[in-house]
Structure 1
Amino acid sequence: MLIKRLLSKRDILVPYFNFRKELSGNIESTLLKEIFQLRYEVYCLECHFLPTEEFKDGLESDEFDECSTHFAAFTMDNQIVGTVRLVQPSSDLNYPFEGHCSIFEDYVMPARETAGEISRLVVRKSHRRRRGDSMEGVSQDFREKGNAASIHPHQGGKKRDGNSPLLLLGLYREMYRYSRKNGIRYWYAAMERSLAKSLDKMGFRFVPIGPQTDYYGPVTPFVVDLDELNNRLHKENKFLAAWFNDEKIPYNVIIRTMIGSFWQMVKKKK
């Protein structure tokens, strides 16, 4: 089954999802309406972060959507199941996190054209595998036990009890590839420390740049350097490094990754 998938045109790690993006400026697109509907479903109806009466059309959007690149994940039958945006505001508009977070006095922000903020990251409830999964699709099992080495090709199949947040990884990969092609080196994000810890296990070392604050729950402003991410992945997980950079993944790297994951599972069971 694995060999068959390797030889097919489907993605080796997320074969049952496809991803699309919408560039800033096309605010009336059909794709954006689907994205705004999903955000309304999660932020307004499910989590009650935002009042439903402010979005009578059932589309959650704000002033940052026009200066964002939007990414979405779809099932093979074209149902939208996840979304995230990368915000790059003009000089007369702050990043979203600056509206509710403060930063350390000694932190120097990089040039605006080299940075964007990860924002409005959500996964549809039907695609969070278990009770206790985060809004972003990270399972409780992965938060407690997972690491980058546990992410391997086998978990791209239909197996539903895997502990790797593949849908989240797919969205991050799309943002990563877009960022590398467009001169974006740094990502900001205001998020819970538990999510930052989970992302660190996948290779994304988010560094806090300010104190924790209360914004629909406790969040901390972070930054990640994509150059450091790329170097770290090439050292710690060559499979993910190749997958993120759209490089051909050698068979020996796939086999080593799977063997390493197998021994990790054996150790956990002891």
Structure 2
Amino acid sequence: MHQSAQTQEDVSNIFNSVFDVHLATSPEEINEVFELRYQVYCIDRPFEDPNCFVDKREHDEYDQRSAHALIRYRTTGDIVAAVRIVMAGDTPEDAYFPMEGHCIHQMDQQARDAFAGTRRRQVAEISRMAVSRDFRRRLNEDKTASGVTDFACYSDSENGKRALPYISLGLFAAILQMSVKHGITHWTAAMEPALLRMLKRFGVEFDHVGPVIEYHGRRRPAFTEAASMLESARKLRPDVWSLVTNNGQQLPAKPMANYEANDRRVA
């Protein structure tokens, strides 16, 4: 049986009362994203060499063809989390995704066929999910970049609710907003196994998930049609679907649909 109507209402209401989702379009907001990524990916979990970023802003060649989003804590305005989606560029050398060479071939044939059969301009890689050090410490989840382990259990002092799932679901709300804006129909990602398990418990499940591999730590490659994922979530957890889609106002385009994507350059 699904959760009660009151609990379902709380998922969206509590998130929106505590956090704000922003698409990072200004140079100032994008700098905030890069600074958070430096903290998470160069200092806390040093997957990247901090000496390569003297300005303390972690960025790479994929950012020029990415869209960025962040989550703020309403009370202070501080950035709590960030994520980007990497999209295919206009030239052959810009057509590949960061995880592609490392991960896709590790998936089964059905997953590889699904990936190969999708128009690249309608695929985006979910990348650089990061939760701030201070917030991860509040959750006692400072061992992972995304702030998720199987032992996550945190009650916010203000409302007594678990905060961590809201952050992860809020990032998916941001991912969906960016995807709708840019005509994206499919998502690929290399995610921490614990994050995938947590999302699955909330009805957010990828169509295809590969084995655990070493890629910036232990990761599982994943690929899905966005509409398929969200339709499944709507049936399993309508409360989560409502949060991620903003009560159905944000829905992905259908695969192979003709669309005029907005300018994908980052401001």
* TM-score after normalising by structure 2: 0.75
**Structure 1 pair 114–157 and aligned structure 2 pair: CA distance change class (3 A):** farther
Pick aligned residue for 2:42 from 41, 44, 47:
44
Cα distance between partner residues in 1 of 2:71 and 2:213:
30
- Aligned with 1:122: secondary structure? strand
SS of the aligned residue for 2:85 comes to: strand
Q: Measure, in 1, the Cα distance between the counterparts of 2:119 and 2:22.
A: 27
Structure 2: how far apart are the matches of 1:156 and 1:15?
12
Q: Does 1:131 align with 2:122?
A: no
> What SS does the corresponding residue of 1:15 show, helix, strand or coil?
helix
Residue 238 of structure 2 is aligned to residue 228 of structure 1:
no
**Unpaired segments of 5 or more residues in structure 1?**
147-154, 249-270
Q: What pairs up with 1:222-261 in 2 under 5 angstroms? A: 222-247=222-247
Match in the other structure for 2:257: none
SS for the counterpart of 1:64 is helix
Give the aligned partner of residue 15 of structure 1: 17
Give per-residue Cα distances to partners, 1:221-266, cap 9 Å, x unaligned: 1112221222112212222222322228xxxxxxxxxxxxxxxxxx
Alignment RMSD: 2.9
Q: Distance in 1 between matches of 2:210 and 2:233?
A: 26
* Partner residue in 2 for 1:117: 125
**Identical-pair percentage:** 28
User: Which ranges in structure 2 are unaligned for 5 or more consecutive residues?
Assistant: 1-5, 249-267
The separation in 2 between residues aligned to 1:227 and 1:212, in whole angstroms, is 25
Larger Rg: 1
Length-normalised TM-score, structure 1: 0.74
Match of 1:149 in 2: none
C-alpha distance 246-217 of structure 1, shift in aligned 2 (>3 A): closer
Q: Which has the higher contact order (CA 8 A, sep 6+)?
A: 2
Using the TM superposition, give the Cα deviation of residue 48 of structure 1 relative to its aligned residue in structure 2, in angstroms.
1.5
Distance 1:192 1:139 in 2: 9
Which residue in 2 is equivalent to 1:265? none
| Contact 2:39–2:133 (Cα < 8 Å) also in 1 | no
Q: For residues 71 and 233 of structure 1, do their structure 2 counterparts lie closer, same or farther at Cα, with a shift above 3 Å needed?
A: same
The one-letter code sitting in structure 2 at the alignment partner of 1:85 is R
Q: How many residues align?
A: 228
Partner residue of 2:256? none
Give the conservation status (yes or no) of the 8 Å contact 2:192–2:218.
yes
